[in-house]
Structures are given as C-alpha cells and as structure tokens.
Amino acid sequence: MPTNPNLRIQVQIVTYNSAHCISACLAAVTAQSYPLSSVLVIDNASSDNTLALVESFPDVRIERLDSNTGYAHAHNVGFVHAVEQGIDVVLTLNPDVLLHEDYISEALTAFDDAKVGGVTGKLWRVLGKGEEELQLDTTGLVMGAFYHAYDRGSQSIDHKQFDQERHREVWGVCGAAALYRVTMLQDVQEEGKALEEAFFLYKEDVDLCFCALRLGWRFVYVASATGFHRRGWQKGRPQVATLAYEHSFANQVAILMRHGTWWFPALWLSILLESARYVRMMMVSPQCAQKSMALIRSQWGHHGAFRQAFAERVKARRGW
C-alpha cells in the first residue's frame, strides 16, 4: 500500500466495439483491493453490445461519445472528469487488459516520490500456454535508437529478469495500464489537453511521456503489479492492424517533429530511416502509404507550432 492511503483513484477505459473483452476487464477492475473513487468507461460510439455489458456493472459510469473520436480524445474526456472530481491518480486501461487484484495498490507505492508522474506494472501476453511460459507484454517503455520507443521485454519469456528491484525508473509507461498523477497531466497539457488528439491511434502515450520527461517528471516500473494484455487486434482484425500501421508511421514522424533535437545526429539518421520505411510502405501497400502521408501533411503545421510553444515552456522550466 502507498504511504498515503487516501489517494483518490479513477480507472478509465476507452471502448470501441469491445464486447468481446469488456466484461472480464471490468470484473478485474471492480475486484481491485484498493478502493476506487471512480470507474469510468468512455465509449467511442460502439455499434455492438459493449454498452449493454458495461451497464451490468452498477458502479461504473458511462460517458457516451457521439462518434469515434479516437483514443486520445476519449481519454482527455476522462481526464477532465478526474480533475473535476478531485482525483489524484488516473489509471488508463485498455479493455483487453486483465489486472490482478493488487495491481493498483502495488503500483501506487511508487507515487510516494512526488516527482513520479506515471507508473506501470508488469503485463504478460495471453498465449494460452500456461503460466510456465509467461510471455512479457511490457515492463515499461524504453527509448531506443532513432526515437523509437518500445515495450521493455516485449515477447520474451518472463524469467523474472525484470524483478530485481521493487521500483525501477523507466523511460516511460505504456498507456494500456498506466497510472498517471493528475498534477502531471495538468502540467503537460497544451490547450487543456494532456494527450495529443492529432494522434488518433497509437503513440499518444509515447508523446505524453516525452512531454512529461522534458518538464522534469519521472516514470517507474513496479514488478509486483501484474496483469495480462490480450492485444486481440493483432489477430483476425486485419483492417484494424492496417489502420494502426497508417497512424503509427504518421505519428512516429510527428514524434520527430515535436521532440527531435535538430543538432543531434540521431534525428537526421531517424529522418533517413523513416524515409526508407516510407519507400518500403509504398512498395508493400501504396494505399496505406498514401493515407499516412495525408495524415502527415494535414498535421504538419499543428505539430510545428507545438514544437515551438513547448520548447519555450521547457526553457522556462529549466531556467534557460
């Protein structure tokens, strides 16, 4: 348990045609050992019976959106609710994640450090092979070469290689099951929004971590907070995977625009790498490449303006 046992916690889940997994997710949430102040489902206009299933949980509040506004916008709606309700920590949870009952109570112990802005536990992938071969999904985000963030330990067998320390600082946290300090979310927000809504799908958590780190916040991995992540879109839903690929590429270019350091050689190597990736995309899937380029062009001015404005905030924070 955290040193402060009175932290007010909100769990928020963004759904879109999530009937196949939402009941199990909510059952795990409502079974958490730490008392929750709010459980909020923000639904992006699902056309299946997602909402009917959510309504069977009487303590869960539903925020119905009129259209599919994207993952980032939906979570921003939840963040506004958290601020209005005096929430201290928000857990953003994907509907295909199943938390062990002590996930929140264990993760909250890292917030005893006032500079910790976000926390993640250990997520395993659901493989159906039994616990003797637990495959890791994430133990936090790592910033690799060429500005590409990735999930630490992803797809490797869990031999407890990431369990040596109870708390370990990491570059960032995956938004699938991330606990964010509300004051951090308020600190990083631009125009009242913590998550960049131009990132309709994918890498919005990476962008948030970049912003927070540049303003002096830290992120921590807690090995004793555990859960499972199904990542069901990777199998049997090729249209969703294609959409993710389109946005992933466009948003990676946006990451370079928003946070790349112009005098750092890695940025120019990154630009060459993304150019090569785009050429390959044109060869493999021309339509996908064209859609990605359209996204990049439509958001170019917006991300450029953000880059300049946020750089001024960072300079002011660091006293430059």
4 found inside a domain = no
1 found inside a domain = no
Q: What percentage of the chain has pLDDT greater than the value 70? A: 95
The predicted-structure confidence for 124-173, as pLDDT tens digits, reads as follows 998 765 556 799 999 999 999 899 999 999 999 999 999 988 899 999 99
Q: Domain containing 167 — which CATH number? A: 3.90.550.10
Closest listed residue to residue 108, CA positions, set 216, 5, 217: 5
The predicted-structure confidence for 222-268, as pLDDT tens digits, reads as follows 999 999 999 755 455 556 678 888 999 999 999 999 999 888 888 99
The predicted-structure confidence for 273-318, as pLDDT tens digits, reads as follows 999 999 999 999 999 999 999 999 999 999 999 999 999 999 999 9
Q: What percentage of the chain has pLDDT greater than the value 90? A: 87
Residue 18 pLDDT: 98
Same domain assignment for residues 48 and 133: yes
**Has residue 112 got a pLDDT over 70?**
yes
230 found inside a domain = yes
The predicted-structure confidence for 8-61, as pLDDT tens digits, reads as follows 999 999 999 999 999 999 999 999 999 999 999 999 999 999 999 999 999 999
Cβ atoms within 10 A of the Cβ of 69, count? 18
Residues with Cβ < 8 Å from 270, sequence gap 6 or more?
A: 146, 147, 256, 260
Closest listed residue to residue 64, CA positions, set 15, 118, 121: 15
Given the structure tokens 């570059």, which residue do they identify?
A: 171
Number of domains in the chain: 2
Domain residues for the domain of 260 are 238-318
Where does residue 51 rank: exposed (0-12), middle (13-18), buried (19+ CB within 10 A)? middle
Q: Which of 199, 234, 269 is the last residue of a domain?
A: 234
